[in-house]
């Protein structure tokens, strides 16, 4: 390819002048050649170049191979072109980066290539430490079943065989599922191998903050928030990032491993007097209740009943069953707000809406009906939905 050789200090001005005239080759790189820099010329660039480029030397130089733009372009390093073609449409485009981890799901048609896919994805995403096959969430703690497939060790991408030959503590550290994510400037410690967390819910968290701010405005004071399925506490971390938004607080989960990370995330946001390790729910400081608890029993505690302005119910497969047990946590004779998430098939939505309108009342004056809003597809037949209910209990 033709290149214009320019003294290093003139690189930027020459680059801009070529670009203005459309004479820079698209997607080609500026090359180094000792004290000179080689600017790649487009096919439209006249030969020889007129002023102000005349007098500068033109050279023929080889551009390096272009950087692959998709992970799939790296797969031929591990899988033959015929096999790639035969499975077209199944190779997983989507993946979930979580801090320095990469999680991806696999259709059954290509599960036999799990190792090769992990190596190619890891080679492509340079900031990633380890790649895992995400086999979906399981059990009442909704924790993902993660199969470790590849990791980056001393700058090299290695697979299962090499991982097995490492010292056990090196291997354990490399494949640890503990990490840290950042959402709109809010750091959250996570461990998707032991406690539920999904980046995909971050928009829900932003909307929760919006609603919490609106409730604070309406009540004219910091609000008391109950998040009894809080996991590692991402929704609370976002709300706590707003000064004086939260007053009293209930942060609990049934999974001790989630509470372990919750303590780290709350401490980072300025919640004090927390225990060093996960313990059963207790009042760690006046009005602030943190720890392991079964949400179904919380309202039996007179210290918690009738105390909260905002209730979050994020147990999407059981929300409707749990909801009546949690409403007694809400304050009486004042506006309160419930935000909940439900996994539902489209055919069931009318019935669920009727049930929500039956359970969630009396509504605050002028409040819209608490009906499901589609948020994102959950699987091929179901949706993750959200409802929001502005309530006002008289007694
Ligand atoms: C879908 S996750 C939501 C976690 C968190 N709110 C978030 O958005 O990341 C549901 C959480 O509920 C917890 N959980 C399940 N059953 C529970 C119960 N009976 N009481 C309290 N927490 C429960 C699970 O451990 C899990 O962390």
CA of 68 to the centre of ligand 1 (A): 40
Contact at 8 Å (CB) between 177 and 146?
yes
Domain with CATH 3.30.70 in the chain: 2-60
According to CATH, the topology of domain 199-392 is: Rossmann fold (3.40.50)
Residue owning the nearest CA to atom 11 of ligand 1: 229
pLDDT of residue 193: 97
Residue 98, ligand 1, Cβ within 6 A: no
pLDDT of residue 98: 97
pTM: 0.85
Check if CATH label 3.40.50.11540 holds for domain 71-177.
Answer: no
CATH of domain 2-60: 3.30.70
Residue owning the nearest CA to atom 25 of ligand 1: 141
Nearest to 360 by CA among 334, 343, 333, 336: 336
pLDDT of residue 101: 98
Residue 378, ligand 1, Cβ within 6 A: no
Residue 138, ligand 1, Cβ within 6 A: no
pLDDT of residue 100: 97
Contacts of 363 (CB under 8 A, 6+ apart): 369, 370, 389, 390, 391, 392
CA of 140 to the centre of ligand 1 (A): 8
Residue 296, ligand 1, Cβ within 6 A: yes
Residue 141 CA: nearest ligand 1 atom is 25
Domain with CATH 3.30.300.110 in the chain: 71-177
Residue 319, ligand 1, Cβ within 6 A: no
pLDDT of residue 347: 93
Query: Following DSSP, what letter does each residue of 310-358 receive, concatenated?
Result: EEEE--TTTHHHHHHHHGGGBPSSSEEEEEEEEEEEGGGHHHHHHHHHH
Q: With a cut of 50, which residues of the chain have pLDDT below it?
A: none
């Amino acid at each position: 390819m033709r290149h214009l050789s320019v003294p290093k200090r003139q690189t930027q001005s020459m680059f801009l002048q070529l670009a203005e005239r459309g004479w820079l080759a698209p997607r080609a790189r500026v090359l180094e050649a000792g004290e000179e820099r080689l600017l790649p010329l487009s096919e439209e660039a006249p030969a020889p170049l007129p002023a102000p480029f005349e007098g500068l030397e033109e050279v023929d130089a080889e551009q390096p191979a272009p950087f692959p733009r998709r992970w799939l372009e790296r797969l031929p390093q591990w899988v033959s072109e015929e096999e790639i073609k035969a499975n077209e449409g199944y190779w997983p485009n989507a993946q979930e980066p979580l801090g320095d981890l990469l999680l991806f799901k696999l259709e059954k048609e290509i599960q036999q290539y799990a190792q090769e896919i992990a190596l190619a994805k890891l080679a492509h995403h340079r900031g990633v430490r380890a790649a895992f096959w995400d086999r979906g969430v399981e059990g009442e703690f909704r924790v993902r079943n993660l199969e470790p497939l590849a990791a980056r060790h001393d700058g090299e991408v290695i697979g299962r065989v090499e991982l097995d030959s490492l010292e056990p503590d090196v291997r354990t550290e490399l494949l640890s599922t503990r990490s840290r994510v950042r959402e709109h400037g809010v750091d959250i410690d996570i461990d998707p191998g032991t406690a539920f967390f999904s980046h995909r819910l971050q928009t829900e968290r932003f909307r929760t903050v919006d609603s919490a701010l609106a409730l604070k405005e309406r009540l004219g004071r910091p609000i008391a928030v109950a998040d009894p399925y809080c996991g590692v506490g991402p929704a609370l971390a976002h709300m706590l990032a707003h000064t004086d938004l939260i007053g009293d607080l209930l942060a609990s989960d049934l999974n001790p491993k989630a509470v372990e990370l919750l303590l780290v995330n709350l401490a980072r946001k300025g919640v004090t007097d927390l225990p060093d390790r996960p313990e059963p729910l207790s009042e760690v400081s006046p009005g602030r209740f943190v720890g392991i608890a079964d949400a179904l029993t919380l309202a039996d505690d007179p210290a918690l009943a009738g105390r909260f302005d905002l209730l979050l119910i994020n147990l999407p497969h059981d929300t409707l069953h749990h909801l009546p047990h949690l409403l007694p946590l809400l304050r009486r004779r004042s506006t309160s707000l419930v935000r909940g998430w439900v996994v539902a098939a489209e055919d069931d939505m009318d019935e669920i809406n009727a049930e929500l309108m039956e359970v969630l009342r009396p509504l605050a004056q002028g409040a819209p009906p608490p009906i499901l809003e589609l948020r994102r597809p959950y699987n091929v037949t179901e949706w993750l939905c959200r409802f929001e209910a502005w309530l006002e209990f008289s007694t």
